[in-house]
Copies of this chain bind each other. A is one copy, B any other.
Amino acid sequence: MAKNVGILAVEIYFPPTCVQQEALEAHDGVSKGKYTIGLGQDCLAFCTDVEDVISMSLTAVTSLLEKYGIDPKQIGRLEVGSETVIDKSKSIKTFLMQIFEKAGNTDIEGVDSTNACYGGTAALFNCVNWVESNSWDGRYGLVVCTDSAVYAEGPARPTGGAAAVALLIGPDAPIAFESKFRGSHMAHAYDFYKPNLASEYPVVDGKLSQTCYLLALDSCYKQFCKKYEKLEGKQFSVSDADYFVFHSPYNKLVQKSFARLIFNDALRNASSIDEAAKEKLGAFSTLSGDESYSNRDLEKLSQQIAKPLYDAKVQPTTLLPKQVGNMYTASLYAAFASVIHNKHSTLAGNRVVMFSYGSGLTATMFSLRFSEGQHPFSLDNIATVLDVDKKLKSRHEFTPEKFVETMKLMEHRYGANDFVTSKDISLLSPGTYYLTEVDTKYRRFYDKKEGENASHCENGVVANGH
């Protein structure tokens, strides 16, 4: 059986078009800090009319294959996680098959996995299981998480974002699964859903969604600890992992989530928490679940106690989610990419605990272990390929007015047929795919900006080198 199965390579793509949260605050007439501190977000990326979840995933997959020198024939499974529905029957995976058909490879298993922001994690588990199964044919798996998060005007709009992440899966990985340490919590809930089929916007109950998220976190952590303790014969606490990566709808919820683990550890009398802190947090032990999820004093205290550990174990994972926004399925893996970007030279031997959450609801806490790896599948090379700083620096800031205007256009375009796009690719880097047309039969046509892998100025536009 294949050993140390996990993630061999990572690529991320996000649109070069973005809007600053500070500028949005002023534009929306809300109090200063409402988005930047209240939500904890810095910036929000979004698709203009030339990009969508299909074009972003075409870009991410092509880029990963090229940068790691992977022949498309070496891929035996390809799975997509997404909650951005462009077609209710035809999977995004079949659009990506265009890349592989050209290389003469159509024998590739896998389709799309769907449940809100969790679909990417489902796709990842499926790919890893395939490599460990009797069905594995020795080739690589490829997982793509792609989403465009957009909201109707109102308080949820600043929690948008957009990105596609591609993950190459195989044995002897520098990022290997610790498959036995895993806890899931799945249940029937209406915290965030998309029942209005003609609209791209979700129905959101913000307060309920946060409670569901934290409740699922508690439940997953409990399961995770139980399984760890059964197998390892000792208690698990936050001290036993070097990093915690959370699905990040907005950073404030990540801060609350890590504090929640600290509260859990305190109640479990775990070694990660000192006696004084345990005593303080213990005062809240009699709260009912619902009360404890909304108690401001507990929130404040636990975040305060968690702060030093948060700075060490969580803060390095927050860069991309804060800069790009909620990327739904891609969000967790963008956070994961952030820790590789920030810490690649010191990660070998470290454990990272991941928490994936999708409204509706499905959630899993799972564990990965880093090793240095071998080129091209080394942590250092993954960080080089990710090239996060360059991608962030080469973005183009839109004014809030232009952002709102773009959202209006996109509302009309969602589900529409018989139009051509602006084909304005001046802001896109060479190698980026873009939408050119949707014909009367709703068939979508894409093109690729020439000059892939270039990292120089072209036509006077700064290319971001991916």
Question: Interface on A for B, CB 8 Å cutoff?
Answer: 1, 5, 78, 83, 85-91, 93-95, 97-98, 100-101, 106-116, 118-119, 122, 125-126, 128-130, 132-135, 177, 179-180, 182-190, 192-198, 202-203, 219, 223, 358-362, 364, 414-415, 417, 441-443
Contact = CB atoms under 8 A, between A and B. Distances in A.
Nearest to A86: B195
A418 to B, nearest CB: 11
Given A113-B113, A125-B109, A193-B90, A97 B186 contact: yes
Contact of A359 (B89, B126, B185, B196): B89
Copies in the complex: 2
Nearest to A363: B106
Nearest to A1: B1
Q: List 4 tightest A-B contacts by C-beta distance, closest first.
A: A195-B442, A90-B360, A91-B115, A88-B194
B185 A107 contact: yes
Contact of A101 (B94, B132, B183, B188): B188
Nearest to A126: B126
A91 B360 contact: yes
Contacts of A87: 193-195, 360
A394 to B, nearest CB: 30
A89 B87 CA distance: 13
Contacts of A111: 113-115, 118-119, 122, 358, 362
A126 B112 CA distance: 12
Contacts of A133: 128-129, 132-133, 179
A466 to B, nearest CB: 24
B193 A442 contact: yes
Given A128-B133, A134-B180, A362-B94, A415 B114 contact: no
- The listed residue with most B CB atoms (<10 A of its CB), out of A97, A188, A192, is A188
Contacts of A182: 135
A456 to B, nearest CB: 32
A203 B442 contact: yes
A114 B91 CA distance: 6
A101 B187 contact: yes
Contacts of A78: 186
A198 B415 contact: yes
A113 B223 CA distance: 25
A415 B196 contact: yes
A189 B94 contact: yes
Nearest to A442: B195
Contacts of A110: 122
Contacts of A128: 133, 135
User: Which of A85, A88, A360 is most buried by chain B, counting CB atoms within 10 A of its CB?
Assistant: A88
A441 B205 CA distance: 10
A179 B129 contact: no
Given A129-B132, A132-B132, 9 more contacts: A85-B88, A90-B359, A94-B115, A97-B186, A101-B187, A111-B113, A114-B114, A125-B135, A198-B415
A78 to B, nearest CB: 8
A108 B197 CA distance: 28
Contacts of A188: 94-95, 97-98, 101
Given A132-B133, A135-B129, A186 B94 contact: yes
Contacts of A118: 111
Contacts of A108: 184, 186
Nearest to A89: B194
A441 B90 contact: no
A77 to B, nearest CB: 9
